[in-house]
Chain A
Amino acid sequence: MQITEDRLLDARGLLCPMPVVKAGKEIKSLEPGQVLKILATDRGSVADMPAWAEDTGNELIEWHEEDGVFVYLVRKGQEA
Chain B
Amino acid sequence: MSETDTMETVGLAEEAVRQIVREELERSKKQDPAARKAAIIASKGTLDFAYPPLILATTAAAMGMETHVFFTFYGLNIIHKDFESKLKVSPVGNPAMPTPIPMPNLVTVIPGMGPMATSMMKSKFERKHVATIRELLDVARESDVHLVACQMTMEVFGYREDEFIERVEFGGAAAFLSEARRAHMTLFV
Contacts and interface: CB of A to CB of B under 8 A. Distances in A.
Interface of A: 13-18, 20-21, 23-25, 52, 55-56, 80
A36 to B, nearest CB: 13
B137 to A, nearest CB: 13
A41 B3 CA distance: 67
Interface stretch (B58-66, B70-78, B83-91, B165-173): B58-66
Given A15-B131, A17-B56, 5 more contacts: A17-B55, A21-B59, A24-B143, A52-B63, A56-B63
Interface residues of B, number: 15
A52 B58 CA distance: 13
A25 B62 CA distance: 7
Contacts of A23: 62
B63 A24 contact: yes
Given A15-B130, A16-B55, A17-B131, A25 B143 contact: yes
Given A21-B59, A21-B139, A14 B64 contact: no
